[in-house]
Amino acid sequence: AQSVTQLDSHVSVSEGTPVLLRCNYSSSYSPSLFWYVQHPNKGLQLLLKYTSAATLVKGINGFEAEFKKSETSFHLTKPSAHMSDAAEYFCVVSDLRLTGGGNKLTFGTGTQLKVEL
Amino acid sequence: DTAVSQTPKYLVTQMGNDKSIKCEQNLGHDTMYWYKQDSKKFLKIMFSYNNKELIINETVPNRFSPKSPDKAHLNLHINSLELGDSAVYFCASSPRDRGFYEQYFGPGTRLTVT
């Protein structure tokens, strides 16, 4: 079975400082991993995805994530936080082997990012 | 142009009623999904359709019945609404039902059952 653990339910940073949102995954086979962002009362927007190509993945709005198989991690980072980054972030795994019937995404429980002046 | 749209955005109704939520995607995707986001913001898949065929049904009560009239539309009908059905329901689509494709989400429908 596939699963995702987001280690922090809340992260608070000051504007202009780095962001680190942690994610560990469990998957029986080679997973595909995603980070989605949800701004208040909005839908989910894809930030970036890993699909077994380069292990360092660059996404929108300056975010990037590194796939580390030995650590089963896919942490999300950004060098300098902006007020507009305040949102809920979801780490998501999709296990290709399980998709005998559908592209099933398994979501983490989310990390609420707060950005302070 | 909106890629994945849902109607209505808000839905307030009483226990025991029947209601529907509509979803449309204009991305030309083959596969569509319904997710439920609970009050703690946890997202869980409910259903998936590929070219109008049901391919995922995640132990959802049979009061929930998805219908896909064509591959661009996936509607969700809920009978005999219960308080626990209150949640945000998201529709999503992806190009195919297999492979490393991300899913594109709609804006959500906030359902409140009183």
Local confidence band at B54 (pLDDT 50, 70, 90 cut-offs): confident
Give the range of the structural domain holding residue A31, as residue numbers without chain letter.
3-116
pLDDT single digits (tens) B24-41: 999 999 899 999 999 988
A87 residue type, one letter: A
Determine the Cα–Cα distance for residues A88 and A110; give it in Å rounded to an integer: 6
State the DSSP code for B80: S
Predicted pLDDT of residue B96: 76
User: Are B104 and A46 within 8 A, CB to CB?
Assistant: yes
> Pairing mode, if any, of strands A56-58 and A73-78?
unpaired
Q: Is the pLDDT of residue A100 over 60?
A: no
The per-residue pLDDT for range A33-49, each reduced to its tens digit, is: 999 999 988 889 999 99
pLDDT of residue A11: 98
Nearest to A25 by CA among A88, A105, A86: A105
* Model confidence band, residue B60 (pLDDT cutoffs 50, 70, 90): confident
Instruction: Give B75 to chain A, closest Cα distance, Å.
Output: 17
Contacts 24+ apart (CB under 8 A), A44-52: A44/A90, A44/B43, A44/B90, A44/B92, A44/B105, A45/B105, A46/B102, A46/B104, A47/A76, A47/A89, A48/A76, A49/B100, A49/B102, A50/A74, A51/B100, A52/B100
With CB atoms and an 8 Å threshold, state whether A38 touches B99.
Answer: no
Q: Domains along chain B?
A: 4-97+106-113 (2.60.40.10)
Q: Is the pLDDT of residue B94 over 60?
A: yes
| Mean pLDDT of the region B10-14 | 97
For chains A and B, CB pairs below 8 A equal: 64
Match 């596939």 to its residue by tokens: A2
* pLDDT above 80 (res A96): no
| Strands (DSSP E) found in chain A | 3-6, 10-14, 19-21, 23-26, 31-38, 44-50, 56-58, 64-68, 73-78, 87-95, 105-107, 111-116
Q: How confident is the model at residue B97 (pLDDT cuts 50, 70, 90)?
A: low
CB within 8 Å: A99 and B99: yes
Nearest CA among B54, B27, B47 for reference residue B89: B47
Tell me, what's the pLDDT at B109? 96
Find the chain A residues whose C-beta atoms sit closer than 8 A to any C-beta of B. 32, 34, 36, 38, 42-46, 49, 51-52, 88, 90, 94, 96, 99, 101-105, 107, 109-110
- Percent of chain B at pLDDT above 70? 96
3-class secondary structure, A15: coil
Cβ contact, residue pair B99, A96, below 8 Å = yes
Closest residue in B to A42 (Cα) is B107
Counted domains in chain A: 1
Q: H or E segment at B64?
A: strand B64-70
**Residue A10's domain is classified under what CATH number?**
2.60.40.10
* Best of B52, B59, B100, B110 to mutate (most A CBs within 10 Å, chain A): B100
Q: Tell me the nearest-neighbour CA distance from B47 into chain A, angstroms.
A: 10
